[in-house]
Structure 1
Amino acid sequence: MKPLLPLLTPLVFMAGFSAQAATSVLTADAYLDVKTGKLIANPAIIIEDNRILQIGKQGQLAIPADARVQSLPGITLLPGLMDMHVHLSSNAEDNFLEAQNYSVPLQTVIAVSNARKTLEAGFTTVRNLGADGYSVIGVMEGINRGDIVGPRIWAAGHSISITGGHCDDNFSAPERHATSGGVADGPWAVREKVRENIKYGANTIKICVTGGVFSKGTKVGIQQYTLEEMKAAAEEAHMRGMVIAAHAHGTSGIKDAIRAGIDSIEHCSFMDEEAIQLALKHGTYLSCDIYNTEYTLAYGAANGVPEENINKEKQVSQAQRDSFRKAVKAGANMVFGSDAAIYPHGDNGKQFSRMVTFGMTPLQAIQAATINSAELMKQQDIGQIREGFLADIVGVKGNPLDNISLLEKVSFVMKDGRIYKQA
């Protein structure tokens, strides 16, 4: 069902207004200019269709006579938040080993549910880095068609992996000959897999260049793709106009992924000074999921996560946070990437406080989830409340620069000029 745009009177709202007004207006206590860090008091924001037409002061801006006005007293507005690393088709709460055998249709249903939760949490844009059977690509298309509710999605399709590496199916018995859809060995096979993902609707690419926490039989610090293979993936993705991400925990894999020209490094657990300097030199973006370790160590065993994987999480948790702190201090490009599915969807905002705890200012954490993420994805009309930009706007009660935890409880969500949540 398409969202309803709330009007000024309950009577009109209950009548079921569903067609989008040509012009609407938001008023609030303030909005945050994420570029300058300034709070602008008493704004009036005129929205035409799905774009911000004009921004001014309440009482000073000429409001069109036919505009529908939404007043939000006590609310601070921000650009719609962006999470650059999610897995909508998986649930942290499900039994880990049973979930390995979920069908693609079931994963698609799960993704539909999680897309709504993510949007209602204030994340109007996400990057889905890996899902079976093009399930999330289908959800992305359904959202774009207006059939279902969810954030704007960049979906990678299958994560590209070596045989037996992180992102392959290593949990099935050998006689089943199970192989994940993204397996590719050698530069030309990697290029072919990038092309295959794009053929079936992917609008971003992910390659797994080191071992990982939640795979069987891989070591998180060990590199699993050669520099030559990584270059093939990056060149193929860029030739097709795609942004490419590299799952990379280990130091050597991180460095080679940067040298290969990959746009963002995911996880970034074991970064030395050379790795950080390479990221600075190449302008590479770093996406460090520093909240989810708390959920895994608290609830992973109860959710059926094997001891091998729990132990690997213990290996990376503090190292990853140390790497995050060093990268922030060095001034590296940082984006917000939570790895949602390792913890429950909808709790994405809990990572903001950890980003502040481990070295960011509140403004830097917000910028990671707005303008920095927009820059990574090469988008010039999202990530700011600005005239001409898409009307992706969220609101919280109070000032998030004083209390970053407010972003855990977003009370207003607008995407593409439509209201999906309000207190």
Structure 2
Amino acid sequence: MLLTRRDFLTSLIGLGALPAPLSFAKNLPTKTFALVGRIVIGDGSLPLDDHAILIHNGFIEAIVPAKKVTDRPVLPLPYATILPGVINAHCHRIHTSTGRRKRWLVQGVTSIGDVGSPLDAMPLLANSPPNVTATASFSGPMLTPPGGYPLPVHDSKYALVVKSPDDARTAVSMLADQGATMIKLAFEPGVLPKTWPQFDATTAGTLCNTARRLGLTIRCHVEDFSGLEKALNAGVHTVEHVPHRWRKNGHIRPILTSDNKLIDQYTDLLERMKREDIILTPTLDVLCRSPWQGASLFEPVRVFHTMGGRIAVGNDYPYKRTDAGMPSREMNLLAKTGMSPLAIIQAATQVSAAACGFTNRGILFSGMVADMIVVRGNPALGLEKMDTPLHVIKDGEFIR
């Protein structure tokens, strides 16, 4: 049955101010319907006004002009925008499906990337039933040489020690067998007088080659500029955090010139990342809560964005009192680097999906999973309405 816009508006008291989410959701079909309004696809393109997104059995069939919909119920959303569900590409510790629903999904974060979890949490993260919780991509423990990061600063349950190339093949295969969709390693010397151990090139290359053969995404913790080239040489898919200091020969060297521009060596490596399509997940939210802040964090992100490099959104929850839910502070900090609202939405959807290895979500396109949020107004003009989505749709069903 096709509902006209007038019929549907008449059935919902007060829609002029947009309905309360729960009362709206009670009357919704769950299998085949169309949402009509302003649509932000998530690829950085301009919004489509007065268009319909066609949903069938949890997937997106197409996006068409609203007037062309004749085969299903039409649910109008005047004064609102439909966009992909947000993906927090870098977070930790909320493992259960119930916890992910409460802390992520109902706030509009429809998927997450858990980039460091104990072995016993992996079955919990793998439990992502449709329509119930935020879908998780996860790495399991971080791979590290003996004594390397994260062992000096975090509980040993978050690390899996790899001593040789043979160990590397065994460890990655084991994680894949446990359901991991990613691996994570680090090139991090720390800031203490004695540097932390790092992988040799052969072992790091074996980790990455094994992961690629098994179809796993390769994430890499790099806060020190001295580790960036090593990470790129190993063959990572993403660089996590912003390399914002440079330890060289036992001293901290500047990464910025006297006028706060990036040193040439850094610019060269960012250009390489752009050429090789390596994603940067800056995690500015957590880094700005440390003594290392200011231009050394923002300038690399600005330069990489200006080059056309791909940037993902992740706030490193729960470290340094970062928040679960919509990563609004991370998105606002990215705006300070010169990224537009549409570029930030693309970072939080399409690019974050790629960083997590998701291939069927993160953009509103035919064949993709119908993970969406609905927000008041036009987020292309400002992201403030992203904090409080009107509706959250997961696998084609209204969660709120």
2:63 is paired with a residue of what secondary structure? strand
Residues 77-226 of structure 1: matches in 2 within 5 Å?
77-89=82-94, 108=95, 112-135=98-121, 137-144=122-129, 149-168=132-151, 170=153, 180-211=158-189, 224-226=198-200
2:367 is paired with a residue of what secondary structure? coil
Aligned residues: 360
2:314 is paired with a residue of what secondary structure? coil
Partners of 2:27 and 2:57 in 1: how far apart? 13
Closer/same/farther in 2, CA of residues 143 and 278 from structure 1, 3 Å limit: same
Residues 189-268 of structure 1: matches in 2 within 5 Å?
189-211=167-189, 224-268=198-242
Closer/same/farther in 2, CA of residues 115 and 22 from structure 1, 3 Å limit: closer
**Of 399, 407, 418, which aligns to 2:386?**
407
Q: Cα offset for 1:171?
A: 6.3
Closer/same/farther in 2, CA of residues 180 and 368 from structure 1, 3 Å limit: closer
Maintained 8 Å contact 1:76/1:398:
yes
Residues 256-405 of structure 1: matches in 2 within 5 Å?
256-270=230-244, 272-294=266-288, 297=289, 313-315=290-292, 318-342=295-319, 343-377=322-356, 379-405=358-384
Maintained 8 Å contact 1:204/1:243:
yes
Q: Cα offset for 1:236?
A: 0.9
Closer/same/farther in 2, CA of residues 39 and 131 from structure 1, 3 Å limit: same
1:210 aligned partner, one-letter code: E
Q: Cα offset for 1:223?
A: 6.9
Q: Aligned residue for 1:419?
A: 398
Maintained 8 Å contact 1:76/1:396:
yes
Is 1:34 the counterpart of 2:42 in the alignment? yes
Which ranges in structure 1 are unaligned for 5 or more consecutive residues?
A: 1-7, 90-107, 173-177, 298-312
1:21 aligned partner, one-letter code: T
Cα offsets for 1:2-31 (capped at 9, x unmatched): xxxxxx779xx89x9899733122223x11
Cα offsets for 1:49-105 (capped at 9, x unmatched): 0111233333431133xx4x443332111112222111133xxxxxxxxxxxxxxxx
Q: Aligned residue for 2:55?
A: 47
Maintained 8 Å contact 2:211/2:217:
yes
Q: Cα offset for 1:395?
A: 1.4
Q: Cα offset for 1:405?
A: 2.5
Maintained 8 Å contact 2:148/2:197:
no
Cα offsets for 1:341-394 (capped at 9, x unmatched): 121211413211211111212221111122223444555432222232221111
2:129 is paired with a residue of what secondary structure? helix
Q: Cα offset for 1:156?
A: 0.5
Partners of 2:158 and 2:366 in 1: how far apart? 44
2:80 is paired with a residue of what secondary structure? strand
1:291 is paired with a residue of what secondary structure? helix
Closer/same/farther in 2, CA of residues 113 and 236 from structure 1, 3 Å limit: same
1:267 aligned partner, one-letter code: H
2:135 aligned partner, one-letter code: R
Q: Aligned residue for 2:76?
A: 71
Closer/same/farther in 2, CA of residues 128 and 179 from structure 1, 3 Å limit: closer
RMSD (CA atoms): 3.0
2:368 is paired with a residue of what secondary structure? coil
Q: Output the TM-score relative to the length of structure 2.
A: 0.80
Q: Cα offset for 1:181?
A: 4.5
Which ranges in structure 2 are unaligned for 5 or more consecutive residues?
A: 1-10, 14-21, 245-254, 256-265
Cα offsets for 1:261-289 (capped at 9, x unmatched): 11001002237223212212322111101
1:390 is paired with a residue of what secondary structure? coil
Maintained 8 Å contact 2:142/2:160:
yes
Partners of 2:201 and 2:298 in 1: how far apart? 26
Maintained 8 Å contact 1:87/1:339:
yes
Identity, in percent, stands at: 21
Maintained 8 Å contact 1:251/1:275:
no
Maintained 8 Å contact 1:133/1:181:
no
Q: Output the TM-score relative to the length of structure 1.
A: 0.76
Partners of 2:330 and 2:317 in 1: how far apart? 10
Partners of 2:217 and 2:30 in 1: how far apart? 34
